[in-house]
């Protein structure tokens, strides 16, 4: 009997990389408007080079890129970048198709909902709040809870303990073949590969269910729980 649905956040509920690209592009636009004298593409590439070398969640990538490209951090440029980034981020933060209706149907089926994310706590909660999804989730497990990232089983074990459930009572959905699926699968949690996410062309992942649309999860849960399919 499936009693809980756990899901990854970035690139499973929302297109994180689309958001990141849009935010950086608008940050650069705002800097150009107040005098940045670096080609847009050059600044864009520098910011993402820093993200890839450090952490995609880095809060200082734009500041470091300014230092690298201009030799100093002009506070006028940085302030413009921060405002531009926030506005671009907010405009590009929305769910994939059928996310909300899927979560509503799973709640109607009596499931508890939770998130397991490698993001830091503040960023994960902020993204869920901007998506309008935060009230729907009973637990949000982040990197800060265990100090481990997927595919470590630690975040999944933490979630199971918080929910007081057995692995076979939980189904987990994620988009990253090498990170999302192995950790959950190793514990006996039912696994769904989100082919609508960042890796639509990934080879077979070993997930129990390989789906192209999030709403298909409702049918999977109904089947696992012996309910009539609609």
pLDDT per position as a tens digit, 81-117: 999 999 999 999 999 999 999 999 999 999 999 999 9
Q: Is 220 a residue whose pLDDT tops 70?
A: yes
Domains with residue ranges and CATH for the chain: 4-15+94-224 (3.40.50.1000), 16-91 (1.10.150.520)
Q: Is 71 a residue whose pLDDT tops 80?
A: yes
- pLDDT the model gives residue 24: 98
**Where do runs of H (alpha helix) occur along the chain?**
16-33, 40-53, 61-70, 75-91, 99-108, 121-131, 143-146, 154-163, 180-186, 216-224
**Contacts for 141 with CB less than 8 Å, ≥ 6 apart:** 114, 115, 116, 117, 155, 158, 159, 162
- pLDDT the model gives residue 228: 73
Mean pLDDT of the chain: 96
Contact 172/6 with Cβ under 8 angstroms? yes
Local confidence band at 198 (pLDDT 50, 70, 90 cut-offs): confident
**Contacts for 209 with CB less than 8 Å, ≥ 6 apart:** 190, 191, 192, 193, 216, 217, 220
Only one residue has tokens 């699968």, namely 185
113-132 pLDDT tens trace = 999 999 999 999 999 999 99
- pLDDT the model gives residue 51: 97
Tokens representing residue 88 in the block: 């671009």
Q: Whole-angstrom Cα distance, residue 71 to residue 50? A: 16
Tokens representing residue 165 in the block: 């459930």
pTM, entire model: 0.90
Q: Is 230 a residue whose pLDDT tops 70?
A: no
Cα dihedral 51, 61, 91, 36 in deg (nearest 10): -130
């Amino acid at each position: 009997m499936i009693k809980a649905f756990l899901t990854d956040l970035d690139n499973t509920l929302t297109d994180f990389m689309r958001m990141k690209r849009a935010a950086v592009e608008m940050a650069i636009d705002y800097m150009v408007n107040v005098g940045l004298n670096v080609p847009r593409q050059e600044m864009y590439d520098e910011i993402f080079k820093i993200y890839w070398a450090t952490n995609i969640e880095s809060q200082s990538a734009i500041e470091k890129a300014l230092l690298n490209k201009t030799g100093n951090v002009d506070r006028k440029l940085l302030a413009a970048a921060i405002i531009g980034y926030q506005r671009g981020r907010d405009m590009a933060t929305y769910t994939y198709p059928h996310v909300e209706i899927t979560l509503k149907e799973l709640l109607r089926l009596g499931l508890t909902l939770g998130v397991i994310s490698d993001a830091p706590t503040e960023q994960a909660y902020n993204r869920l709040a901007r998506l309008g999804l935060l009230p729907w989730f009973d637990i949000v497990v982040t990197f800060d809870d265990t100090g481990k990232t997927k595919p470590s089983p630690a975040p999944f074990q933490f979630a199971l303990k918080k929910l007081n459930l057995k692995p076979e009572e939980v189904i987990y959905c994620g988009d990253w073949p090498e990170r999302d699926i192995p950790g959950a699968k190793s514990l006996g949690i039912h696994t769904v590969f989100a082919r609508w996410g960042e890796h639509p062309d990934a080879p077979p992942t070993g997930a129990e269910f390989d789906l192209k649309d999030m709403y298909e999860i409702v049918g999977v849960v109904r089947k696992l729980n012996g309910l009539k399919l609609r």
